[in-house]
Amino acid sequence: MTSQQRVVVIGGGLAGLRVAARLDGCAAVTILGEEPHVPYNRVLLAEVLAGRYSAEVTALPDPGPALRRSVRAVRIDRAERLVRCDDGTVEGYDTLVLATGSNPVLPPLRGLFEPGGRELPDGVHAFRTMDDCLALSAAVRPGVPTVVVGGGLLGVSAARALAERGAQVVLAQQGERLMERQLDAEASALLHTHLTALGIEIHSECRVRGLTTTPADPAARSFSPPRVTGVELADGYRLDAELVVLACGVRPRTGLAVAAGLDVRTGIVVDDMLRTSDPRIHAIGDCAEHAGRVYGLAGPALEQADALATILAGTGSTPGTESTPGTGSRPGTPVRYTGTRALTRLTLTGPGPGADPLDLAAFGETTPLPGDDVVRLADATRRSYRKVVVRGDRLVGGVLLGELSTVGALARTWEDGEALTDLLHLLTDDGGS
């Protein structure tokens, strides 16, 4: 790719900025970012909400004039190779990269929206962007009754952060256990115990039916939107709430791609070159669907960005002796993105000053299939739990809580698909050294 080639990246998050940085000097890159903030690391928002970090700590490297802030792409003209923006400007491209990310899922709750409206009631927040985080930080105060809806990674992170700020937190989840996509029953039970020690009340296997709110006052001098007062469960039980956080997952942002006529299923469908159904348009990150999978995690987004930058900046071959992480490529072979083996990690602070935090990690298939071998090591005194799933002579997944000294060795063995020779060594502290 020559420096005259124009690459337009729609999305100023981790993936979009990574591919732009990797292409610096190889192409004329323009990044269209909707948000007014300096680029930030979304992974750290829970730490900002907890008050452990300032918002400035989350800042990503400044891409300089390549980034156009507060600009939203509204239409892709594939025939003319143009991106039309909400401020009336137009960006021409030779290659277009969609890194549009994802939107929070807003469940169909009674009382969530006024008829014909799209504004959330006062006190109700999603938890996805820096604006969401700052709004929640401004609203939370010690003792405020707060309900977090959703028991996945995002809900657990938000509940922990709000509890650290002194809020009276109730976590309501429809699933049987916390973080059921990543953790097995034993690990989830340990997590449940840890959150309860933080003062978080947990309701499992309950469906939120709706919100109760104060009525809007159309006669007021200035319009006053309804304010949340509680959360109604399907069994009729009502939880008082002045703050409600909707942490019900995310959905890939595919509106631009759909309007442009690209192939979209759950996400924007891409091949091993991260090309969409239009070969001049690529997609990476939370919005992309590769081999039937949408990852929604930072690690895969960065690996996709690295792979795409290598493809676009070169000839499709890995230069020299380098290889692109996650692509499965070898020196001199064409670069392909063949998927990412994603590791989930989370650190939860302890229930009091000086208390030990709870670290957890999960990777691969944590639920065994018939014929798989499962090895568990547990230490109740140290609140330590380790479980791995072995299929034949290969490690296919694992869960670790409390003590993560071996996670590096286990993850490398899993990622590389190596045959196991000494599993006990990998599971012990010595194996992680």
Q: What is the DSSP letter of 290?
A: E
Residues 224 and 128 in one domain: yes
Q: Cite the beta strand spans of 112-158 per DSSP E.
A: 124-126, 145-149
Residues 279 and 367 in one domain: no
Residues 260 and 208 in one domain: no
pLDDT of 117: 73
Residue 404 lies in a domain: yes
Q: Which of 225, 246, 267 is the last residue of a domain?
A: 246
Residue 420 lies in a domain: yes
Run of H or E residues at 405: none
Could you give phi then psi for residue 374, rounded to 5 degrees? -125, 130
| pLDDT tens digits, one per residue of 254-296 | 999 999 999 999 999 999 999 999 999 999 999 999 999 999 9
CATH number at residue 395: 3.30.390.30
Are β-strands 238-240 and 228-233 bridged in parallel, bridged antiparallel, or unpaired? antiparallel
Q: Which of 282, 313, 344 is the last residue of a domain?
A: 313
Say how many C-beta atoms besides its own lie within 10 A of residue 185's C-beta. Answer: 10
Over the range 348-366, which residues count as b (16 or more CB within 10 Å of their CB) and which as e?
Answer: bbebeeeeeebbbbbbbeb
Residue 110 lies in a domain: no
Are β-strands 145-149 and 168-172 bridged in parallel, bridged antiparallel, or unpaired? parallel
Residue 118 lies in a domain: no
231 Rama sector, left if φ>0, alpha if ψ -120 to 50, beta otherwise = beta
Residues 370 and 299 in one domain: no
Residues 283 and 205 in one domain: no
Residue 148 lies in a domain: yes
Residues 44 and 92 in one domain: yes
Residues 188 and 235 in one domain: yes
pLDDT of 432: 41
How many whole angstroms from its chain centre is CA 142?
28
The number of residues making up the chain comes to: 433
| Structural tokens at position 58 | 């989350």
Residue 212 lies in a domain: yes
pLDDT, block means (10 residues), the chain with 433 residues: 80 97 93 96 94 94 94 98 98 98 94 82 95 96 97 95 97 94 90 94 95 77 80 94 96 98 98 98 98 94 96 57 41 75 83 74 92 89 86 93 84 86 71 40
* 283-288-290-293 Cα dihedral, nearest 10 degrees: 170
**Which of 121, 169, 167, 170 lies closest to 144 in space, CA to CA?**
167
Residues 87 and 178 in one domain: no
Residues 175 and 229 in one domain: yes
Q: What is the DSSP letter of 127?
A: -
| Helix, strand or coil, per DSSP, at residue 229 | strand
pLDDT of 219: 61
Please say whether the beta carbons of 251 and 103 come within 8 A: yes
Residues 240 and 279 in one domain: no
* Number of compact structural domains in the chain: 3
Residues 208 and 254 in one domain: no
Residue 111 lies in a domain: no
pLDDT of 291: 96
Between CA 412 and CA 421, with CA 418 as vertex, the angle to 5 degrees is 105
Which residues span the domain enclosing 422?
356-432
Say how many C-beta atoms besides its own lie within 10 A of residue 222's C-beta. Answer: 5
Write the CA distances from 232 to 64, 243, 247, 374, integer angstroms.
47, 14, 16, 40
Q: Which of 189, 215, 246 is the last residue of a domain?
A: 246
CATH number at residue 233: 3.50.50.60
Residues 411 and 383 in one domain: yes
* Edge-first strand listing for the sheet containing 208-213: 208-213, 228-233, 238-240
Residue 258 lies in a domain: yes
| Structural tokens at position 202 | 């947990």
